[in-house]
Chain A
Amino acid sequence: DVKVTQSSRYLVKRTGEKVFLECVQDMDHENMFWYRQDPGLGLRLIYFSYDVKMKEKGDIPEGYSVSREKKERFSLILESASTNQTSMYLCASSLRRLKGGTQYFGPGTRLTVL
């Protein structure tokens, strides 16, 4: 089975702190994604990576950056956390589109910024 793990289930940070969210997948997937989920808005793509050190902005990248130094690990960084970044953050991974492309999700990190 595909397994996607995230470093924390719950996280509380203060405004202005630098926040790291980590995601690890064990299925050798090329693609990895970070989403945020907010009530009434569904899931929105923050950043996407299709290979080590390769990344693309998603729909809402402002205030976030990412790092992918190894194929299995994709990190989301909030450079200076703000209260409007309080949300549920979901990581996903998938094979390339031609090999299937179904995204598999981690358990999520509920981040609260005070």
Chain B
Amino acid sequence: ELKVEQNPLFLSMQEGKNYTIYCNYSTTSDRLYWYRQDPGKSLESLFVLLSNGAVKQEGRLMASLDTKARLSTLHITAAVHDLSATYFCAVDRGGATNKLIFGTGTLLAVQP
């Protein structure tokens, strides 16, 4: 059974600092997504990582995938308040469909 674990669950950081959110999953998968959710809003797609070693960057966020270690990271560089949100990773279950298993989310609070 595929399980997805994110850590930390809550992250309070100061503006200008760097940090990393980790997403571990339990069985083989070749596709992983990162989503952002602002309070009271829906999920917005950030990145899709399709192969081992994939790296995607958008602004201050960079996501990577290591399929051998079953690990994805979301790195935040020089955090700003606008990045405060909940971040979810989601792992493709494989097969013909694209059903996903979501992590429990990381609530990021960037303090001025």
Q: A: which residues have CB within 8 A of B?
A: 31, 33, 35, 40-45, 48, 50, 56, 58, 90, 92, 94, 96-97, 100-108
Contact check: which of A33, A41, A107 meets B42 at CB < 8 Å? Answer: A107
Q: B: which residues have CB within 8 A of A?
A: 4, 31, 33, 35, 41-45, 48, 88, 90, 92, 96-100, 102-105
Q: Is the CB of A102 within 8 A of B33?
A: yes
Q: Is the CB of A48 within 8 A of B97?
A: yes
**Closest Cβ of chain B: how far from A88's Cβ, in Å?**
9
Q: Is the CB of B97 within 8 A of A90?
A: no
Q: Is the CB of A42 within 8 A of B45?
A: no
**Closest Cβ of chain A: how far from B10's Cβ, in Å?**
11
Q: In the complex, A50 Cα to B42 Cα: how many Å? A: 22
Contact check: which of B31, B42, B48 meets A90 at CB < 8 Å? Answer: B42
**Beyond A90-B42, A105-B42, A108-B41, 6 additional pairs, beta carbon < 8 A:** A35-B102, A92-B43, A101-B98, A102-B33, A104-B45, A105-B44
Q: Is the CB of A42 within 8 A of B98?
A: no
